[in-house]
Amino acid sequence: MAHDVTNLRKFVSPEIVFGAGSRKAVTNFASNFGARKVLLVSDPGVQAAGWVAEIETLLLEAGLQYTTFTGVSANPRVEEVMQGAELYKSSNCDVIVAIGGGSPMDCAKGIGIVSAHGRNILEFEGVDTITIPSPPLILIPTTAGTSADVSQFAIISDPNRRFKFSIISKAVVPDVSLIDPEVTQTMDTYLTACTGVDAMVHAIEAFVSTGSGPLTDAHALEAVRLINTHLEPLIANPNDANLREQIMLGSMQAGLAFSNAILGAVHAMSHSLGGFLDLPHGLCNAMLLDHVVAYNYSACEDRFKRIAETMGIDTRGMSTSTVRARLLGRIGELKRNVGLEQKLGELGVRTSDIPSLSGFAMQDPCILTNPRKSSLRDVEVVYEEAL
């Protein structure tokens, strides 16, 4: 009997441990993987906050050897991945642990790819390019937004092209994600805002993606609800542990949604923009979100209406145009209330840069699942509107 497989959806995720103190389980999992020596990946900011030293102490107390690599930039670069892979090899490591935001976690994923294949990370750009399993990977996120700890994405910056490229494969889904809201307490309000809006964009784009389905929709809408409800209060009360836990939960749900449904034009354009100006990823998303929603709205009005309702807008009796206006208004309000109102032009983007930015955005895999098909000129116009 023939079966129609066109509507089938797969769902991949790591083993997840969520809750305060979950980071302390790192040694149990490393030991279960038979670790002889761990490569601990992080960055200078997380190291200064004290989280690297804590993990080092836990490893020592468990009798596990380690080597620490903290040479990761705010947007992890090709050469940093290659340096980390060389350290992994020369130190005879066999398990990778990363603690940090998206940059250390993506760098750790890249290190695993290079260590397994013995080739340059540039050779793995694109979808399903990985043929050899990476070493065991344990990730501990210190930000509530990037969701690199649950996703099948690794985003690496190529300074030579001034471009951030994507590696998408279930092979980069970590083995274990230890999601501990306590470690987000050292984020300042700006980073909290950037990563929180990033998570919101993950959820919105996953819900309207052409790759969405029932397995991702529930996670996406719950993420929208959690972030819409708790992000603004968290910015006003950054020491509230309960609010941090709710945003961390929203980020996790958004990550599970977008990892499996993929994303859209906001991320395709944001990756191009972030690689060009080396800007925080969440800020790039914030500057583009409402403009892309306005462009995409006509392609999936019912889905955007459900997002509006999940963001607290009572759509009963409203025309389509009114729902659209109210949703865009709420997005603008959220951006204002968390302090992310910048325009592209204020950060150095010029009209003459837009053709190059658009060309790279059109090469990004995320553009393929955008709900409205986009031409080069379409992307250029959205960038122009965001100036």
Instruction: Name the region of 100 (left: φ>0; alpha: ψ -120 to 50; beta: rest).
Output: left
Tell me the three state secondary structure of residue 280. Answer: coil
Contact 17, 25 (CB under 8 A): yes
What CA–CA distance (Å, rounded) separates 172 from 230?
30
Q: 272: closest CA among 364, 339, 182?
A: 364
What CA–CA distance (Å, rounded) separates 43 from 268?
25
| Torsions phi, psi for 221 (to 5 deg) | -70, -35
Q: What is the pLDDT of residue 279?
A: 84
Contact 109, 153 (CB under 8 A): no
Q: What is the pLDDT of residue 278?
A: 82
What CA–CA distance (Å, rounded) separates 295 from 252?
27
What CA–CA distance (Å, rounded) separates 358 from 248?
32
* The pair of three-digit structure tokens given for residue 7, joined into one six-digit string: 């509507």
Q: 262: closest CA among 174, 151, 372?
A: 151
Tell me the three state secondary structure of residue 77. Answer: strand
Domains and CATH numbers, the chain: 15-184 (3.40.50.1970), 187-386 (1.20.1090.10)
Tell me the three state secondary structure of residue 37. Answer: strand
Mean pLDDT by 10 residues, the chain (387 residues): 56 96 98 97 97 98 98 94 98 98 96 97 95 97 93 93 90 97 94 96 98 95 98 96 97 96 96 87 94 98 98 97 98 97 93 96 95 96 96
Q: What is the pLDDT of residue 200?
A: 98
In sequence order, what are the residues at sequence separation of 6 or more whose Cβ sits closer than 8 angstroms to the Cβ of residue 326? 308, 313, 315, 318
Contact 287, 349 (CB under 8 A): no
Q: Which amino acid is at 296?
A: N
Q: What is the pLDDT of residue 6?
A: 54
